[in-house]
Structure 1
Amino acid sequence: MHREGGVTGAAGRLSISASAVSQQLARLEREVGVAVIERTVSGAVLTPAGRALAAGAERIENELVELSSTLRSYADGVTGTIRVGAFPTFINAILLPYRRDLTATTPGIDVRIAEIEEPEGMTLLRSGRLDVLCLERDTNPETAPQGYTDAPVYDEPWVLITHVGNGPIASRRDLDGLTWLRQPPGSAGNHAMERITASMARPIRSPHMHYSYSTGVAMVAEGLGATVLPQLALTDVNRPEVRVTALPGLGVRRLLVRHRTRAVQSEPALAQFLDQLCTWCGRLPARVRTGPGLGHAEQRPHPGQTSP
């Protein structure tokens, strides 16, 4: 009655007669010892006691729904807390939307996310304060340290980010005249940049360096140089001064999740988390938006995936 606005509405919702609803309300009033409805010329309305009773019933209903979800997770036998360290593009494009899906399908697994850089993340992973560390690597990643496993979850193409004043980039030959922004030594972006420019006789290096992809975009927009960006970071490219080019042969950024090898065998929640993460990432579209200021778009599959 509280939700449907009256006895008639409640009767329709419950598919019973209005008199049956009135009888149930009368029985409820006898049980609680106070009047819960007041009959007026325009129909029955809740009394203050009735409104308090309805609010309490809704709280109990919500708690029962939550308890039911928790009990289902125990029935499935998969519960636990997974602590994940990751970098911004992995968090924003993958972990947050994946966590929403996981909460709906496997409510017994509680995923806790921390934005963290890899060196500190490895320290926490070794000490057991992290269960999973998300990594980014260039096309050919190194082997995981002994005792750890690097599970691949997503490959995405590197794309070229240039100032529109440089003009369209039609082939790799057009890369020779670009000035390249620096990226931190050892980073996936720096590995990609070194690999892409290795065949150039004298690649031109900018004195400017960017750590984050959004900063790289801002530097390109100011005409300080060119850089490469993974497709998941394209949400940062919203400037008309910037051109995005999906050039064949730039390679891929590989996204990996590192965990202690033996932990998967002893921790069912971790195994479930990793398995469902790989499945979820396998459904991500391979989409690259290109052009000045994202002026036009195209879709093409990247290695290991097919077009959706």
Structure 2
Amino acid sequence: MNLQQLQLLRELAALGSVTAVAEALRISPSAVSQQLAALQRGIATPLTRKQGRTLVLTPAGEVLAEAGADALDAMAAARSAVDRFETAPSGVVTVSGFLSAAQALFGPLIRELGTGDHVPTVRFTDEDVAQSEFPALTGRYDLVLAHRMEHSARWPQNGIRSVPLATEPLDIALAPSHPLAPLAVLTPEQVVGERWVTSRAGYSPDDVLRTIAAVTNSPVEIVHRINDYGVAATVIAAGGVIGMLPRYTSVVADATGVVRRPLLGVSTNRMIDVLTRPENLRRRSVRLVAEALERVMATLTG
């Protein structure tokens, strides 16, 4: 039993013949008969009977047609509720962000959206996970701020939509007193022999550092593993180690006074994207937040 079959039964009750039902619904009479027969196979009591050359409803068929009308009305009401949900600008939108993106974007996003009755209500969570774990977060949040290295595999395409926000380089970060600080740019050969603070494995800084070691065929000395860029920056500023900081989103680190220098010779770019389930983008409120994130990031990157 399905809604199409119930609709056909209701129309048969209202219009009185298979031919009239077929004309009203713009399908063939044989299609009507096939669907009614399929409906009958699931019910022991006869729903229709022949009256001359016309097919009419039995008392059981009339009862089911009436109940079917209620079901169709309930489905229409449900569809209407979904339509209102999808088109409402003021729904609740859940957003997760890795730590540096959350620090850089969450506050400006609230200001960008503004206030009022027709503004989405945003619920934030920080989720600082390894690159491979971001797609799974789309099952828990409407929008997921995610990052991956430029040369790494793209996000899964099955069941996930990605919206590019920015390409962000990771720069070498040094204390102002470091001997390399006066240089405008740096190369892997100049930095590979330094003592390092980097992230845990699976995160962008560690990925770049392993690349530096590979292209120079030299080991690197890792002193600290710190994922929080603000904390890492305070350690770098104290001297004795160097590290990497994202160019646009490490706003907390800016207060530490460290200097940043581009690294030539290897790709240090990470891609910042918004990941979401395709059905989420049907909601106007989610689209409004995603578009506001694009504007905020555009302002941040200049």
Question: Normalized against structure 1, the TM-score is what?
Answer: 0.59
After TM superposition, give the deviation of residue 106 of structure 1 in Å.
8.2
Secondary structure of residue in 2 paired with 1:191: helix
- Alignment match of 1:137 (pick from 148, 151, 161): 148
In 2, Cα distance between the equivalents of 1:279 and 1:243? 27
1:76-155 equivalence runs, <5 A? 77-104=88-115, 107-118=118-129, 125-126=138-139, 129-145=140-156, 146-155=158-167
Higher relative contact order (CA 8 A, sep 6+): 2
Q: Which amino acid aligns with 1:277?
A: L
After TM superposition, give the deviation of residue 90 of structure 1 in Å.
1.3
- Alignment match of 1:185 (pick from 183, 198, 201): 201
Q: Which amino acid aligns with 2:275?
A: R
Are the equivalent residues in 2 in contact too, given 1:103–1:109 (CA < 8 A)? no
2:231 is matched with 215
Rg larger in 1 or in 2? 2
After TM superposition, give the deviation of residue 187 of structure 1 in Å.
0.7
Question: For the structure 1 residues 118 and 183, does the alpha-carbon distance in structure 2 shift closer, same or farther, using more than 3 Å as the test?
Answer: closer
In 2, Cα distance between the equivalents of 1:154 and 1:105? 29
* Structure 2: gaps (5+ residues): 1-84
1:257 is matched with 274
Q: Which amino acid aligns with 1:157?
A: P
Secondary structure of residue in 2 paired with 1:118: coil
- Stretches of 4+ aligned residues off by more than 6 angstroms: none
After TM superposition, give the deviation of residue 118 of structure 1 in Å.
3.1
2:179 is matched with 166
Give the length in aligned residue pairs.
209
Structure 1 vs Structure 2: percent identity of aligned residues? 19
1:1-308 equivalence runs, <5 A? 77-104=88-115, 107-118=118-129, 125-126=138-139, 129-145=140-156, 146-163=158-175, 164-168=177-181, 169=183, 170-172=185-187, 173-231=189-247, 232-239=249-256, 242-249=258-265, 251-264=268-281, 266-286=282-302
In 2, Cα distance between the equivalents of 1:283 and 1:238? 20
2:15 is matched with none
Q: Which amino acid aligns with 2:168?
A: E
In 2, Cα distance between the equivalents of 1:203 and 1:105? 56
Question: For the structure 1 residues 166 and 277, does the alpha-carbon distance in structure 2 shift closer, same or farther, using more than 3 Å as the test?
Answer: same
Are the equivalent residues in 2 in contact too, given 1:148–1:259 (CA < 8 A)? yes
Cα displacement string for residues 60-111 of structure 1 (whole angstroms, at most 9, x for unaligned residues): xxxxxxxxxxxxxx9x852311101112321221122122211248833111
Are the equivalent residues in 2 in contact too, given 1:138–1:189 (CA < 8 A)? no
In 1, Cα distance between the equivalents of 2:134 and 2:263? 33
Q: Which amino acid aligns with 2:114?
A: T
In 2, Cα distance between the equivalents of 1:105 and 1:247? 45
After TM superposition, give the deviation of residue 123 of structure 1 in Å.
5.3
Question: For the structure 1 residues 273 and 281, does the alpha-carbon distance in structure 2 shift closer, same or farther, using more than 3 Å as the test?
Answer: same
After TM superposition, give the deviation of residue 209 of structure 1 in Å.
1.3
After TM superposition, give the deviation of residue 122 of structure 1 in Å.
5.6
RMSD, matched Cα? 3.0
Greater percentage in helix: 2
Question: For the structure 1 residues 183 and 267, does the alpha-carbon distance in structure 2 shift closer, same or farther, using more than 3 Å as the test?
Answer: same
After TM superposition, give the deviation of residue 125 of structure 1 in Å.
3.1
Q: Which amino acid aligns with 1:246?
A: P
Greater percentage in strand: 1
In 1, Cα distance between the equivalents of 2:136 and 2:271? 22
* Structure 1: gaps (5+ residues): 1-73, 287-308
